[in-house]
Chains A and B, each alone.
Chain A
Amino acid sequence: MLEEAGFAGVRIGPPVDTFKGARGEKNARRFAVYGYSFLARKLE
């Protein structure tokens, strides 16, 4: 989707256990939800 929008060089960081210990942890585990950092650059 990012590339379709005109971005290149997409990088994704390691998963972060965002919901660990939070009330939403059960649903996060059920659907394997993690936080990620994304980096992309608009084409020149």
Chain B
Amino acid sequence: MTPLSFEWQWNVEYIIFFGLLYIALGVVSVGLVVVVIKTALQVFGFMRERHF
């Protein structure tokens, strides 16, 4: 459900419940995007390779 869905209600409960979910999903997505960008930069030689 998103704020554009017809069932959505603009009240605190919806904002907290979905807000927390979207924050968690956002952190995971941003993390993955950062990893993809870092990998691309390393592949094309714009960034030093890191090893663990």
Partners in one complex: no
Give me the interface of B with A, judged by CB distance under 8 Å. Answer: none
